[in-house]
Structure 1
Amino acid sequence: MKGLTSEHSDHFDFLSKVSERKSKHHYRLVDFKNKQHKTDFLLSQTKCNLEIFPEGLVIVGDFTEKEGVIPVLKSEINSITVVRGKEIIDTFYLSPMYILSKLGVPNRISRHLMVYPSEYRISETRIMLKCQNYQLTLVTSGNRFDRLLRNLKKSGYSGLLKLVERPKINMLDYKNAIDL
């Protein structure tokens, strides 16, 4: 990647094997800005994966013909902002998820008994990495939020994390207000 010294590339030489693996991409790089706040449009909207290591983060994808890996050392990261998507609950009366929700069971458990896929969904999760030389924004499925957060904390990024949770929307509250 442009602007990386040989010291940086030495730390991530072992990751070249990671970029060679063929796997399903779970993330999408939606924004890449360098130090001069210029957006690199070639990197925008690229499918990729985020690999988390105690030494740093690696974004693996098909960015250009020469570069398939963006290494980010832990010492270069200023902050990691994780924005959880909106949680939307739209169940129907006497649905198993509806009954469990009314009994006080958390949505993360009751969602496994939904009848229709539209009863429970989380909009996309955003990850913003602010580094000394550049800024990255990644997007993934809302269901990956908990796993991502757990992996970042386990790898020692707790001090750099900033969490933002969007409010949940319970469509039942709106339906009950209309029925009155």
Structure 2
Amino acid sequence: MPNRPRPEEALDFLRAELATGQSEMTEWTTRGAWLAFVRFGRWRFDTAATPDSDGLLFQYGTYAFSGRPMFTVGLTRQFDVTDDDGEHDHYVQVHCELRYEAEPDLDALGSFDSWFFTMPPPKITASTPTSSRRPPTGTRASMCAPTAPTAPTASSSATSLS
């Protein structure tokens, strides 16, 4: 699609949205990261006109991926990149993750994940997704970042499938 950014540029768009709210906060909250992700989710990228070419994933749960258990909130956007013949070539994923010290209240939330793949693109708001099991909005996040403790972790990866 002309005049739309390529999926490979999506990480820069997410980082810009996260930086928009950073000057207003000394620590990230789940709500602050979610609102940045909502703004990022509204950007339209140059993807194929198929129902699964641009997807959003919201997930949370307590996991011990790198040592001690942490309550993790993950926000991911996945793009299906096609070749010149319109066939699937690979995926590009842009991911933002918040990690919290495990606490009984957070552990009690269990785990949750939900993908949004729709055509036309989803209309997302500050309250999407709705669930009766959400992390408390007043909880502060400890961001896993390579440079600064208050900077969110945002990463991108491309995966090819044979």
Q: How does the TM-score come out when normalised to structure 1?
A: 0.24
More helix by share: 1
Larger Rg computed on CA atoms: 1
Taking CA–CA contacts closer than 8 Å with sequence separation of 6 or more, which of the two structures ends up with the larger relative contact order?
2
Q: How does the TM-score come out when normalised to structure 2?
A: 0.26
